[in-house]
Homo-oligomer: A and B are copies of this chain.
Amino acid sequence: MLRLSKKSEYALMAVKYMALNQNGKCITVKEIAGIYGISFQLLAKLMQKLVKNNIIISQQGTKGGYMLNKQTKDILLADVISAIEENYSLTDCIESEDPEDSCARANCCIIRDPLAKVQQKINRIFAETTIKQIL
């Protein structure tokens, strides 16, 4: 269906929200989750993934929360999405080191290479769009 997961949407919202509202101070999960009606626990774990991908940094404890770790011009759409989605590819075989391992049809498949090229074009779109551009 080519859908982005809700998780990716939430993460994008959070990153954009932080870009617009952090002014040297931390922003909490509670705040973002409250504003957009996102499950607190779910968003919390997405934020943790963003931390692991160096997109944001966390501060635990009272007055804690999150802050962006980069300038908005240096955060790509691809960064945020790939931090959340394990692999966002059109097919099972793409991005797999051994295609035959990921798909039983890999050896007889006539659309594998064409779709891989389409994938590259899509990747380019995500890699050419920065958070700054979508503020």
Contacts and interface: CB of A to CB of B under 8 A. Distances in A.
A134 B122 contact: no
B3 A108 contact: no
A96 interface: no
Interface stretch (A9-17, A40-48, A57-65): A9-17
A89 B125 contact: no
A108 B4 CA distance: 19
A4 B91 contact: yes
A86 B109 CA distance: 24
Query: How many copies of the chain does the oligomer comprise?
Result: 2
Contact of A125 (B3, B121, B134): B121
Given A37-B105, A118-B77, A16 B89 contact: no
A8 to B, nearest CB: 9
B90 A111 contact: no
Given A2-B2, A4-B115, A37-B108, 6 more contacts: A1-B3, A2-B85, A4-B91, A9-B111, A13-B109, A122-B125
- 10 closest A-B pairs by beta carbon, nearest first, are A114-B134, A2-B88, A4-B90, A121-B125, A12-B111, A16-B110, A13-B111, A1-B85, A13-B110, A122-B122
